[in-house]
Amino acid sequence: MRSRLVDAALTLLQHQGAAALTVRNITTRAGCSTTGIYTYFGGKNGLVDAIFSNGFASFDQALDPFLDEGDLLGAGQAYRRWALAHPMQYMVMFGRAVPDFEPSDAGLERALVSFSKLAAGVRRAGIGGDADHRAHHIFATVHGYVMLEMAGMAPPLSVPIETLYLHALASASEPIRPPGQTVN
Amino acid sequence: MRSRLVDAALTLLQHQGAAALTVRNITTRAGCSTTGIYTYFGGKNGLVDAIFSNGFASFDQALDPFLDEGDLLGAGQAYRRWALAHPMQYMVMFGRAVPDFEPSDAGLERALVSFSKLAAGVRRAGIGGDADHRAHHIFATVHGYVMLEMAGMAPPLSVPIETLYLHALASASEPIRPPGQTVN
DNA sequence: AGGCGGACGTAACATTGTTATGTGAGATAA
DNA sequence: TTATCTCACATAACAATGTTACGTCCGCCT
Protein backbone atom coordinates (compact mmCIF):
# COMPACT_ATOMS: atom_id res chain seq x y z
CA MET A 1 0.00 0.00 0.00
CA ARG A 2 2.83 2.33 0.89
CA SER A 3 4.42 1.76 -2.50
CA ARG A 4 1.05 2.08 -4.24
CA LEU A 5 0.70 5.57 -2.79
CA VAL A 6 4.19 6.60 -3.85
CA ASP A 7 3.62 5.21 -7.34
CA ALA A 8 0.32 7.01 -7.68
CA ALA A 9 1.92 10.26 -6.57
CA LEU A 10 4.82 9.84 -8.98
CA THR A 11 2.69 9.15 -12.04
CA LEU A 12 0.37 11.98 -11.06
CA LEU A 13 3.36 14.29 -10.69
CA GLN A 14 4.88 13.28 -14.00
CA HIS A 15 1.70 13.38 -16.06
CA GLN A 16 -0.27 16.25 -14.59
CA GLY A 17 2.26 18.36 -12.70
CA ALA A 18 2.66 19.38 -9.10
CA ALA A 19 -0.67 21.16 -8.98
CA ALA A 20 -2.51 17.84 -9.40
CA LEU A 21 -0.68 16.37 -6.45
CA THR A 22 -3.59 16.64 -4.02
CA VAL A 23 -4.32 14.24 -1.21
CA ARG A 24 -7.65 13.25 -2.74
CA ASN A 25 -6.20 12.70 -6.20
CA ILE A 26 -3.41 10.51 -4.90
CA THR A 27 -5.56 8.39 -2.64
CA THR A 28 -8.35 7.75 -5.12
CA ARG A 29 -5.75 6.75 -7.71
CA ALA A 30 -4.11 4.46 -5.18
CA GLY A 31 -7.49 3.02 -4.23
CA CYS A 32 -7.81 4.08 -0.61
CA SER A 33 -9.22 6.92 1.42
CA THR A 34 -7.51 10.19 2.29
CA THR A 35 -6.44 8.90 5.68
CA GLY A 36 -4.13 6.39 4.08
CA ILE A 37 -1.55 9.10 3.52
CA TYR A 38 -1.67 9.93 7.21
CA THR A 39 -1.34 6.39 8.51
CA TYR A 40 1.62 5.66 6.24
CA PHE A 41 3.38 9.01 5.86
CA GLY A 42 1.99 11.24 8.57
CA GLY A 43 0.67 13.67 5.98
CA LYS A 44 1.32 15.03 2.53
CA ASN A 45 4.73 16.33 3.56
CA GLY A 46 5.82 12.83 4.46
CA LEU A 47 4.81 11.47 1.09
CA VAL A 48 6.58 14.22 -0.80
CA ASP A 49 9.59 13.65 1.40
CA ALA A 50 9.59 10.03 0.27
CA ILE A 51 9.55 11.21 -3.34
CA PHE A 52 12.36 13.59 -2.48
CA SER A 53 14.65 10.89 -1.06
CA ASN A 54 13.56 8.51 -3.78
CA GLY A 55 14.66 11.05 -6.35
CA PHE A 56 18.17 11.32 -4.96
CA ALA A 57 18.48 7.56 -4.90
CA SER A 58 17.47 7.28 -8.55
CA PHE A 59 19.76 10.19 -9.29
CA ASP A 60 22.75 8.49 -7.70
CA GLN A 61 21.95 5.31 -9.56
CA ALA A 62 22.31 7.22 -12.82
CA LEU A 63 25.51 9.04 -11.87
CA ASP A 64 27.41 6.48 -9.83
CA PRO A 65 28.81 4.49 -12.77
CA PHE A 66 30.52 7.63 -14.05
CA LEU A 67 31.58 9.04 -10.70
CA ASP A 68 33.09 5.73 -9.67
CA GLU A 69 35.52 6.09 -12.53
CA GLY A 70 36.10 9.79 -12.10
CA ASP A 71 34.41 10.53 -15.42
CA LEU A 72 33.12 14.02 -14.72
CA LEU A 73 31.98 14.71 -18.26
CA GLY A 74 29.97 11.52 -18.32
CA ALA A 75 28.49 12.30 -14.94
CA GLY A 76 27.57 15.80 -16.04
CA GLN A 77 25.80 14.49 -19.10
CA ALA A 78 24.02 11.87 -17.03
CA TYR A 79 22.96 14.64 -14.66
CA ARG A 80 21.31 16.62 -17.43
CA ARG A 81 19.79 13.51 -18.96
CA TRP A 82 18.24 12.48 -15.65
CA ALA A 83 16.90 15.96 -15.00
CA LEU A 84 15.29 16.24 -18.43
CA ALA A 85 13.80 12.76 -18.09
CA HIS A 86 12.33 13.50 -14.64
CA PRO A 87 11.66 17.22 -14.74
CA MET A 88 8.94 17.28 -12.12
CA GLN A 89 10.89 15.20 -9.68
CA TYR A 90 13.93 17.40 -10.28
CA MET A 91 11.87 20.46 -9.45
CA VAL A 92 10.63 18.80 -6.27
CA MET A 93 14.21 18.08 -5.27
CA PHE A 94 15.79 21.42 -6.17
CA GLY A 95 13.03 23.83 -7.03
CA ARG A 96 10.37 23.73 -4.32
CA ALA A 97 7.77 22.70 -6.87
CA VAL A 98 5.32 21.44 -4.25
CA PRO A 99 3.78 24.24 -2.20
CA ASP A 100 4.61 24.29 1.50
CA PHE A 101 6.88 21.28 1.20
CA GLU A 102 10.12 21.33 3.17
CA PRO A 103 12.39 18.30 3.15
CA SER A 104 12.90 16.59 6.46
CA ASP A 105 16.30 16.29 8.11
CA ALA A 106 16.57 12.76 6.80
CA GLY A 107 15.83 13.98 3.30
CA LEU A 108 18.45 16.71 3.54
CA GLU A 109 21.00 14.18 4.74
CA ARG A 110 20.13 12.03 1.77
CA ALA A 111 20.82 15.00 -0.49
CA LEU A 112 24.19 15.54 1.18
CA VAL A 113 25.08 11.93 0.41
CA SER A 114 24.63 12.67 -3.28
CA PHE A 115 26.82 15.72 -3.02
CA SER A 116 29.59 13.89 -1.22
CA LYS A 117 29.51 11.27 -3.94
CA LEU A 118 30.11 14.03 -6.45
CA ALA A 119 33.01 15.33 -4.36
CA ALA A 120 34.45 11.82 -4.23
CA GLY A 121 34.16 11.59 -8.00
CA VAL A 122 36.02 14.87 -8.36
CA ARG A 123 38.75 13.57 -6.07
CA ARG A 124 38.91 10.40 -8.11
CA ALA A 125 39.25 12.41 -11.30
CA GLY A 126 42.58 13.72 -10.06
CA ILE A 127 41.96 17.24 -11.21
CA GLY A 128 43.89 18.96 -8.49
CA GLY A 129 42.86 21.77 -6.19
CA ASP A 130 40.29 21.52 -3.44
CA ALA A 131 37.82 18.79 -4.34
CA ASP A 132 34.95 20.30 -2.36
CA HIS A 133 35.37 23.65 -4.06
CA ARG A 134 35.50 22.00 -7.45
CA ALA A 135 32.46 19.88 -6.69
CA HIS A 136 30.59 22.98 -5.63
CA HIS A 137 31.59 24.79 -8.79
CA ILE A 138 30.59 21.92 -11.04
CA PHE A 139 27.32 21.46 -9.23
CA ALA A 140 26.48 25.14 -9.43
CA THR A 141 27.28 25.31 -13.14
CA VAL A 142 25.39 22.17 -14.04
CA HIS A 143 22.43 23.10 -11.88
CA GLY A 144 22.32 26.57 -13.36
CA TYR A 145 22.34 25.31 -16.92
CA VAL A 146 19.71 22.65 -16.30
CA MET A 147 17.49 24.99 -14.34
CA LEU A 148 17.55 27.61 -17.07
CA GLU A 149 16.85 25.03 -19.72
CA MET A 150 13.93 23.57 -17.80
CA ALA A 151 12.48 26.99 -17.10
CA GLY A 152 12.41 27.64 -20.84
CA MET A 153 14.74 30.59 -20.32
CA ALA A 154 17.11 29.53 -23.04
CA PRO A 155 17.64 32.57 -25.22
CA PRO A 156 17.67 32.30 -28.99
CA LEU A 157 20.90 30.48 -29.69
CA SER A 158 22.53 29.51 -32.95
CA VAL A 159 23.81 26.31 -31.38
CA PRO A 160 21.93 23.53 -29.57
CA ILE A 161 22.02 24.00 -25.82
CA GLU A 162 23.66 20.64 -25.47
CA THR A 163 26.79 21.97 -27.14
CA LEU A 164 27.03 24.93 -24.79
CA TYR A 165 26.39 22.62 -21.90
CA LEU A 166 29.26 20.38 -22.94
CA HIS A 167 31.61 23.33 -23.27
CA ALA A 168 30.69 24.61 -19.81
CA LEU A 169 31.06 21.14 -18.38
CA ALA A 170 34.48 20.73 -19.95
CA SER A 171 35.60 24.10 -18.62
CA ALA A 172 34.37 23.34 -15.15
CA SER A 173 36.06 19.96 -14.96
CA GLU A 174 39.38 20.74 -16.59
CA PRO A 175 42.53 20.16 -14.60
CA ILE A 176 44.39 23.09 -13.16
CA ARG A 177 47.25 24.56 -15.11
CA PRO A 178 49.25 26.89 -12.92
CA PRO A 179 49.92 30.11 -14.79
CA GLY A 180 47.54 30.72 -17.68
CA GLN A 181 43.97 31.28 -16.57
CA THR A 182 41.70 31.24 -19.57
CA VAL A 183 38.31 29.85 -20.46
CA ASN A 184 36.46 28.89 -23.63
CA MET B 1 -4.52 51.79 -3.77
CA ARG B 2 -2.80 49.71 -6.41
CA SER B 3 0.58 50.58 -4.97
CA ARG B 4 -0.68 50.03 -1.44
CA LEU B 5 -1.54 46.46 -2.37
CA VAL B 6 1.85 45.84 -3.95
CA ASP B 7 3.63 47.34 -0.96
CA ALA B 8 1.63 45.23 1.47
CA ALA B 9 2.39 42.10 -0.54
CA LEU B 10 6.10 42.94 -0.70
CA THR B 11 6.53 43.56 3.02
CA LEU B 12 4.48 40.47 3.77
CA LEU B 13 6.65 38.47 1.41
CA GLN B 14 9.89 39.78 2.85
CA HIS B 15 8.97 39.46 6.51
CA GLN B 16 6.83 36.33 6.66
CA GLY B 17 7.65 34.40 3.52
CA ALA B 18 5.62 33.27 0.56
CA ALA B 19 3.28 31.14 2.67
CA ALA B 20 1.87 34.28 4.32
CA LEU B 21 1.05 35.78 0.94
CA THR B 22 -2.67 35.11 1.10
CA VAL B 23 -5.37 37.27 -0.38
CA ARG B 24 -6.88 38.01 3.03
CA ASN B 25 -3.55 38.87 4.60
CA ILE B 26 -2.61 41.25 1.84
CA THR B 27 -5.94 43.03 1.68
CA THR B 28 -6.37 43.52 5.43
CA ARG B 29 -2.82 44.91 5.59
CA ALA B 30 -3.56 47.21 2.67
CA GLY B 31 -6.83 48.27 4.28
CA CYS B 32 -9.37 47.01 1.80
CA SER B 33 -11.51 43.96 1.14
CA THR B 34 -10.50 40.82 -0.69
CA THR B 35 -12.14 42.02 -3.86
CA GLY B 36 -9.62 44.81 -4.18
CA ILE B 37 -7.07 42.40 -5.58
CA TYR B 38 -9.55 41.39 -8.28
CA THR B 39 -10.54 44.89 -9.32
CA TYR B 40 -6.92 46.00 -9.64
CA PHE B 41 -5.04 42.87 -10.65
CA GLY B 42 -7.65 40.38 -11.76
CA GLY B 43 -6.60 37.94 -9.05
CA LYS B 44 -3.68 36.84 -6.97
CA ASN B 45 -1.74 35.85 -10.07
CA GLY B 46 -1.91 39.40 -11.36
CA LEU B 47 -0.54 40.82 -8.14
CA VAL B 48 2.34 38.34 -8.04
CA ASP B 49 2.98 39.13 -11.68
CA ALA B 50 3.34 42.77 -10.72
CA ILE B 51 5.87 41.78 -8.08
CA PHE B 52 7.61 39.67 -10.71
CA SER B 53 8.01 42.51 -13.19
CA ASN B 54 8.79 44.91 -10.37
CA GLY B 55 11.62 42.62 -9.32
CA PHE B 56 13.25 42.66 -12.73
CA ALA B 57 13.02 46.43 -12.84
CA SER B 58 14.73 46.78 -9.46
CA PHE B 59 17.20 44.17 -10.58
CA ASP B 60 18.12 46.11 -13.70
CA GLN B 61 18.46 49.26 -11.69
CA ALA B 62 21.13 47.56 -9.61
CA LEU B 63 23.01 46.03 -12.55
CA ASP B 64 22.74 48.69 -15.23
CA PRO B 65 25.55 50.96 -13.96
CA PHE B 66 27.97 48.07 -14.30
CA LEU B 67 26.62 46.62 -17.52
CA ASP B 68 26.66 50.04 -19.18
CA GLU B 69 30.41 50.07 -18.76
CA GLY B 70 30.91 46.42 -19.61
CA ASP B 71 32.05 45.67 -16.07
CA LEU B 72 30.99 42.03 -15.84
CA LEU B 73 32.65 41.37 -12.49
CA GLY B 74 30.90 44.33 -10.95
CA ALA B 75 27.61 43.26 -12.46
CA GLY B 76 28.05 39.73 -11.15
CA GLN B 77 28.70 40.98 -7.65
CA ALA B 78 25.74 43.30 -7.86
CA TYR B 79 23.66 40.33 -8.99
CA ARG B 80 24.56 38.32 -5.90
CA ARG B 81 24.15 41.31 -3.63
CA TRP B 82 20.67 42.03 -4.96
CA ALA B 83 19.62 38.40 -4.65
CA LEU B 84 20.82 38.13 -1.06
CA ALA B 85 19.13 41.40 -0.19
CA HIS B 86 15.79 40.35 -1.73
CA PRO B 87 15.78 36.58 -1.33
CA MET B 88 12.03 36.12 -1.40
CA GLN B 89 11.57 38.27 -4.46
CA TYR B 90 14.42 36.44 -6.16
CA MET B 91 12.68 33.14 -5.47
CA VAL B 92 9.46 34.51 -6.89
CA MET B 93 11.30 35.53 -10.05
CA PHE B 94 13.42 32.43 -10.55
CA GLY B 95 12.28 29.78 -8.12
CA ARG B 96 8.51 29.47 -8.31
CA ALA B 97 8.20 30.36 -4.65
CA VAL B 98 4.50 31.23 -4.88
CA PRO B 99 2.29 28.20 -5.45
CA ASP B 100 0.41 28.05 -8.72
CA PHE B 101 1.95 31.28 -9.95
CA GLU B 102 2.99 31.47 -13.57
CA PRO B 103 4.33 34.70 -15.01
CA SER B 104 2.26 36.30 -17.75
CA ASP B 105 3.57 36.88 -21.23
CA ALA B 106 4.26 40.49 -20.33
CA GLY B 107 6.24 39.35 -17.30
CA LEU B 108 8.28 36.93 -19.36
CA GLU B 109 9.04 39.66 -21.87
CA ARG B 110 10.18 41.85 -19.02
CA ALA B 111 12.53 39.08 -17.94
CA LEU B 112 13.91 38.84 -21.46
CA VAL B 113 14.66 42.56 -21.36
CA SER B 114 16.93 41.95 -18.37
CA PHE B 115 18.66 39.14 -20.18
CA SER B 116 19.26 41.17 -23.32
CA LYS B 117 20.76 43.90 -21.16
CA LEU B 118 23.18 41.34 -19.84
CA ALA B 119 24.01 40.26 -23.39
CA ALA B 120 24.59 43.89 -24.33
CA GLY B 121 26.93 44.25 -21.37
CA VAL B 122 28.86 41.21 -22.49
CA ARG B 123 29.14 42.67 -25.96
CA ARG B 124 30.33 45.95 -24.48
CA ALA B 125 32.95 44.12 -22.45
CA GLY B 126 34.65 43.11 -25.68
CA ILE B 127 35.35 39.62 -24.54
CA GLY B 128 35.07 37.96 -27.92
CA GLY B 129 33.05 34.97 -29.00
CA ASP B 130 29.28 34.84 -29.26
CA ALA B 131 27.82 37.33 -26.80
CA ASP B 132 24.57 35.44 -26.37
CA HIS B 133 26.37 32.24 -25.55
CA ARG B 134 28.61 34.01 -23.09
CA ALA B 135 25.67 35.78 -21.47
CA HIS B 136 23.91 32.47 -21.11
CA HIS B 137 26.98 30.91 -19.55
CA ILE B 138 27.50 33.75 -17.10
CA PHE B 139 23.83 33.80 -16.19
CA ALA B 140 23.75 30.05 -15.60
CA THR B 141 26.87 30.12 -13.46
CA VAL B 142 25.80 33.07 -11.38
CA HIS B 143 22.28 31.75 -10.99
CA GLY B 144 23.57 28.34 -9.94
CA TYR B 145 25.87 29.76 -7.31
CA VAL B 146 23.28 32.10 -5.87
CA MET B 147 20.57 29.45 -5.90
CA LEU B 148 22.75 26.98 -4.03
CA GLU B 149 23.78 29.59 -1.51
CA MET B 150 20.19 30.65 -0.87
CA ALA B 151 19.04 27.07 -0.51
CA GLY B 152 21.60 26.58 2.23
CA MET B 153 23.22 23.88 0.14
CA ALA B 154 26.69 25.28 0.54
CA PRO B 155 28.89 22.39 1.63
CA PRO B 156 31.45 22.82 4.38
CA LEU B 157 34.09 25.00 2.76
CA SER B 158 37.38 26.31 4.09
CA VAL B 159 36.89 29.56 2.18
CA PRO B 160 34.00 32.02 2.26
CA ILE B 161 31.58 31.42 -0.57
CA GLU B 162 32.15 34.91 -1.80
CA THR B 163 35.70 34.00 -2.77
CA LEU B 164 34.58 30.99 -4.76
CA TYR B 165 31.91 33.08 -6.35
CA LEU B 166 34.46 35.65 -7.46
CA HIS B 167 36.69 32.97 -8.94
CA ALA B 168 33.81 31.46 -10.88
CA LEU B 169 32.73 34.89 -12.05
CA ALA B 170 36.24 35.71 -13.22
CA SER B 171 36.50 32.41 -15.09
CA ALA B 172 33.16 32.90 -16.75
CA SER B 173 33.91 36.43 -17.92
CA GLU B 174 37.50 36.07 -19.02
CA PRO B 175 38.37 36.92 -22.61
CA ILE B 176 39.03 34.17 -25.08
CA ARG B 177 42.61 33.14 -25.72
CA PRO B 178 42.78 31.05 -28.86
CA PRO B 179 44.86 27.96 -28.20
CA GLY B 180 45.20 27.10 -24.49
CA GLN B 181 41.90 26.20 -22.89
CA THR B 182 42.29 26.13 -19.11
CA VAL B 183 40.26 27.17 -16.13
CA ASN B 184 41.00 28.12 -12.51
C1' DA C 1 -31.69 66.15 -12.37
C1' DG C 2 -31.14 61.67 -13.99
C1' DG C 3 -28.96 57.79 -14.87
C1' DC C 4 -24.67 54.98 -15.12
C1' DG C 5 -20.39 52.87 -14.56
C1' DG C 6 -16.87 51.45 -11.58
C1' DA C 7 -14.83 50.77 -6.97
C1' DC C 8 -15.96 48.48 -2.80
C1' DG C 9 -17.87 45.26 1.03
C1' DT C 10 -20.47 41.12 2.48
C1' DA C 11 -21.29 36.70 2.02
C1' DA C 12 -21.10 32.62 -0.14
C1' DC C 13 -18.74 28.82 -3.05
C1' DA C 14 -15.45 24.97 -4.29
C1' DT C 15 -11.16 23.04 -3.12
C1' DT C 16 -7.26 22.34 -0.28
C1' DG C 17 -4.81 19.71 3.87
C1' DT C 18 -6.02 17.85 8.21
C1' DT C 19 -8.45 15.65 12.08
C1' DA C 20 -12.27 13.54 15.02
C1' DT C 21 -14.98 9.66 15.18
C1' DG C 22 -16.62 5.22 14.14
C1' DT C 23 -15.98 0.33 12.34
C1' DG C 24 -14.42 -3.97 11.50
C1' DA C 25 -10.96 -7.57 11.06
C1' DG C 26 -7.19 -10.15 13.04
C1' DA C 27 -4.33 -11.29 16.89
C1' DT C 28 -3.89 -12.39 21.83
C1' DA C 29 -4.86 -13.99 26.35
C1' DA C 30 -7.95 -16.31 29.74
C1' DT D 1 -14.51 -20.19 22.78
C1' DT D 2 -14.79 -15.57 24.02
C1' DA D 3 -13.49 -11.05 25.48
C1' DT D 4 -10.41 -7.42 24.42
C1' DC D 5 -7.10 -4.81 22.16
C1' DT D 6 -4.76 -2.82 18.28
C1' DC D 7 -4.33 -1.13 13.85
C1' DA D 8 -5.83 -0.09 9.12
C1' DC D 9 -9.54 2.13 6.99
C1' DA D 10 -13.80 5.08 5.71
C1' DT D 11 -16.96 8.78 6.55
C1' DA D 12 -17.64 13.16 7.72
C1' DA D 13 -16.46 17.31 9.42
C1' DC D 14 -13.11 21.36 10.14
C1' DA D 15 -10.29 25.63 9.07
C1' DA D 16 -8.10 28.10 5.51
C1' DT D 17 -7.43 29.10 0.71
C1' DG D 18 -8.60 31.60 -3.96
C1' DT D 19 -12.59 33.12 -6.31
C1' DT D 20 -17.17 34.93 -7.49
C1' DA D 21 -22.19 36.59 -7.13
C1' DC D 22 -24.64 40.21 -5.45
C1' DG D 23 -25.78 44.60 -3.50
C1' DT D 24 -24.42 49.48 -2.46
C1' DC D 25 -22.71 53.87 -2.95
C1' DC D 26 -20.01 57.57 -4.84
C1' DG D 27 -18.65 60.45 -8.74
C1' DC D 28 -19.09 61.76 -13.50
C1' DC D 29 -21.42 62.83 -17.89
C1' DT D 30 -25.40 64.30 -20.65
In chain A, positions 32-51 with C-beta closer than 7 Å to nucleic chain D are: 32-36, 39-40
What are the pLDDT digits (tens) for B24-69? 999 999 999 999 999 999 999 999 999 999 999 999 999 999 999 9
Same domain, B78 and B119: yes
A98 to chain B: closest CA residue: B99
Range 42-61, chain A: CB under 7 Å to any strand C atom: 43-45
| Strand, coil or helix: A183 | coil
DSSP, res B95: S
Residue B182 is assigned to a structural domain of this protein: no
Q: Does any domain span residue B71?
A: yes
Using one digit for the tens of pLDDT, what is the confidence trace for A125-168? 988 788 889 999 999 999 999 999 988 777 667 888 999 999 99
B178 domain-assigned: no
Kindly state whether residue B177 falls inside one of the protein's structural domains.
no
Under DSSP, the state recorded for B20 is: G
Could you read off the pLDDT of B125-180 as tens digits, one per residue?
988 788 899 999 999 999 999 999 988 777 667 888 999 999 999 999 887 654 44
- B92-103 burial string, b = 16+ CB within 10 Å, else e? bbbbbbbbebeb
CB atoms within 10 A of CB A83: 23
State pLDDT tens for residues B10-23: 999 999 988 899 99
Upper half-sphere CA count for residue B67 (Cβ side, 13 Å): 21
Half-sphere exposure (CA, 13 Å, Cβ side) for B69?
Answer: 7
Question: Which residue numbers in chain A have pLDDT < 50?
Answer: 178-184
Contacting A residues, span 80-109, partner chain B, CB-CB under 8 Å: 91, 94-97, 99-100
Task: Output the pLDDT for position B155.
Answer: 65
Residue B42: other Cβ atoms inside 10 A: 12
Question: Within a domain: residue B181?
Answer: no
Cα(A11)–Cα(B151) distance, integer angstroms? 27
Same domain, A71 and A120: yes
Q: How many residues does chain B have?
A: 184
- What does the alpha-carbon distance between residue B140 and residue B149 come to, in Å, rounded to a whole number? 14
pLDDT at B180: 41
* Domain contains B112: yes
Cβ B46 to strand D below 7 Å: no
Residue A18 is part of a domain; what is its CATH number? 1.10.10.60
- pLDDT above 90 covers a percentage of chain B that reads 74
Same domain, B88 and B155: yes
Whether B122 contacts chain A with CB within 8 A: no
Q: Is residue B179 included in any domain, yes or no?
A: no
Residues spanned by the domain of B2: 1-42
Which nucleotide is at minimal CA–C1' distance from A38? C18
pLDDT tens per residue, range B58-87: 999 999 999 999 999 999 999 999 999 999
Let me know whether A75 and A38 are in one domain.
Answer: no
